[in-house]
Amino acid sequence: MKVLVTGANGYLGQGIVRAMAAQGMDIVATDFRCDQKIEHVTMVEGNIFELDNPYEYFGQPDVLVHLAWRDGFVHNSNAHLEDLPKHYQFLETMIQAGVKQVAVMGSMHEIGFFEGSIHEDTPCHPMSLYGISKNALRDATELLCKKSGCIFQWLRGYYIVGNSVKGSSIFSKLAAAAQEGKKEFPFTMGQNQYDFLDYEEFCEQVASAVNQSEIDGIINICSGRPEKLADRVERFITENGYDIQLKYGAFPDRAYDSKAIWGDDSKIKKIIENKENA
């Protein structure tokens, strides 16, 4: 099975491609530029939205893993709505051309304000342009897959913990501040509880979900449990040996941030269990 991965040079893409390669997949990875070199992975630079026949261009892949997304951490960027029709057209072209399985990176921000465990059928009421656009693409992609008989997987991501300064998460910003020698980091009160997953485990879960087709639909890429933001960030500082302290209360919580929210991990646990028993 040949797998095409878009957005392969992004913060998530780099780790996911490595995890997929480690599981023995035949991968074509594409992005505007491709900095990494991985054995047995074909890197192709370019703009997927400008190709007339991307299916043929990328060698007729069997599986499409669509990670590409602009301004993912800028939740109210106009780019989300501007790019939405381009994502839809690309996915439609690939599905109609013959891709057998489509896995798209989603986000818990599709849900909007909610408290408790997010299940596959949890209603979505997104409260940012990012969440609105992801939610719309999910609905549209699911329709496309149903019409064509293509396997549909929506990989709903939660909060990723990693010490790379390349990302735009609070953990990446904290890592960058520590590297710059800053002794204080402006922070909220940190009382909200979220579903945190270490970067390597996140990438491994995505690779495992894609590397099978029996379990489909919405798949939460998550830990399955909530943890207080302040506790996880303080632990992150300790784990990495950073000499920096949080300045609590410097920023208010965002209005659309839930007080306690986490993913139902039953599907991803089953996928990993099946993989270990195979």
User: Mapping DSSP to helix (H, G, I), strand (E, B) and coil, where does residue 48 land?
Assistant: helix
CA distances from 241 to 144, 155, 175, 196, 235 (A): 48, 32, 10, 19, 10
- Collapsing DSSP states into helix, strand and coil, what is residue 254? coil
Are 219 and 159 spatial neighbours (Cβ–Cβ below 8 Å)? no
Structural element, H or E, at residue 162? none
Rounded CA gap, 269 and 278, in Å? 14
Q: What's at 76, amino acid-wise?
A: N
Q: Among residues 245, 238, 206, 202, which one has the least CA distance to residue 223?
A: 202
- The rounded Cα 241 to chain-centroid distance in angstroms is 27
Torsion of CA 30, 172, 164, 104, to 10 degrees: -30
Backbone angles phi, psi at 80, to 5 degrees: -60, -45
Distance CA(265)–CA(246), nearest Å, equals: 31
130 is catalytic: yes
Active-site residue (options: 11, 55, 130, 194): 130
Handedness of CA 109, 28, 62, 24 (dihedral sign): negative
Angle of helix 266-277 versus helix 199-210 axis, rounded to 10: 70
Kindly list the catalytic residues.
130
